[in-house]
Amino acid sequence: MAIDSGAPVAAVQVPAAGLRHQVRAATVVWQREMIRFGRDRSRIVSSLIQPVLFLFVLGTGLSSLMSTGDLDFRTFLFPGVLAMSVLFTAAFAGISMVWDREFGFLREMLVAPVGTTAILTGKCLGGATVATLQSLVILALAGLVDVPYDPVMMLELVVLVFLMAFMICALGVVLAARVKQIQSAMPLVQLTITPLMFLSGALFPLSGLPAWLKLATTLNPMTYAVESIRSVVFDHLDLTPAARATFDPGITWGGWQVPLVVQVAVVVVTCLTLLGLAVARFARTE
């Protein structure tokens, strides 16, 4: 028998759906990523060790073997190392959706009255912000490898690094859509990210490549992110035309030199495509 206590029942208020509500949801997810970043100091330190080793140990070691003329090999390596500094951080930020699924937090987010697009956008923005913040340490070391501290250049690099980090984080989210256990996620990330890194030209110039490798680098979206970063850095170096052509030849499509704005556009389109793919896959699987 139902019991009528006579006490008033508070009405449940569901926020009105709309763009403002979705933006607020994305902001909350972004804030969660920032809080996790602030509490995980070991991840901050460990993610910085590898780029520093590449720049100062590998770069110094190979300088004696590489003939780069007046250009220090570490200076050439700096844009690639800057890109690599965000690569694995952004990828693991995206793949951390697997942890959220295992602990049930993902289901709690998906049953909330917000869109999947807002949740995944907040996730990617958070991962990209964390990766960009970590890259600031590498930017602070620019002077040690003869890269000038030009404020405009630094601002442009931060924007480009953020776009690249968003793209890689979105890729991680796409991979996380079908992975159920974190033990399976790690090898998948390594298997996907490592070829992208080696085929991006981060560690070698794009000039004089064999045809198959040139085609592979041209088809790799990460090449456009790395090359745009290198182009901005090299614009502020005092190099001869011959040295610029050797170490920063740019990207060509059938002989057409792809300008910087088109390279950035390719990265932006890839970001949106991967985010859309991630939303579609999570909507189908969760």
Among candidates 146, 182, 172, which has minimal Cα distance to 74? 146
Predicted local confidence at residue 272, as pLDDT? 96
Tokens of 283: 């909507």
Burial track 245-266 (b if 16+ CB lie within 10 A, e otherwise): ebbbbbbeeeeeebebeebbeb
As beta bridge partners, residue 257 has 252
From first to last of its 286 residues, the chain has per-residue pLDDT tens of 445 556 666 665 666 668 888 898 899 999 988 888 887 777 667 767 777 787 788 777 777 766 666 788 888 889 988 898 888 788 888 888 888 888 887 877 777 778 889 999 999 999 999 999 988 888 998 998 889 999 999 999 999 999 999 999 999 999 888 787 777 787 888 888 889 988 998 888 888 889 999 999 999 999 999 999 999 999 999 888 888 888 889 999 988 999 999 999 999 999 999 999 999 988 776 5
Predicted local confidence at residue 1, as pLDDT? 47
Cα distance between residue 118 and residue 199, in whole Å: 32
* CA distances (Å), origin 190, targets 43, 119, 134, 185: 17, 25, 20, 9
Tokens of 27: 């902001």
Crossing angle, helix 19-39 and helix 116-140, to 10 degrees?
40
Instruction: Note the pTM of the prediction, 2 decimals.
Output: 0.88
Ramachandran angles phi, psi of 68, nearest 5° = -115, 15
Predicted local confidence at residue 12, as pLDDT? 59
Predicted local confidence at residue 17, as pLDDT? 66
What is residue 5's three-state secondary structure?
coil
Tokens of 215: 């085609």
What is residue 220's three-state secondary structure?
coil
Cα distance between residue 147 and residue 81, in whole Å: 13
| Cβ partners under 8 Å of residue 51, min gap 6 | 81, 82, 84, 85, 138
Predicted local confidence at residue 89, as pLDDT? 83
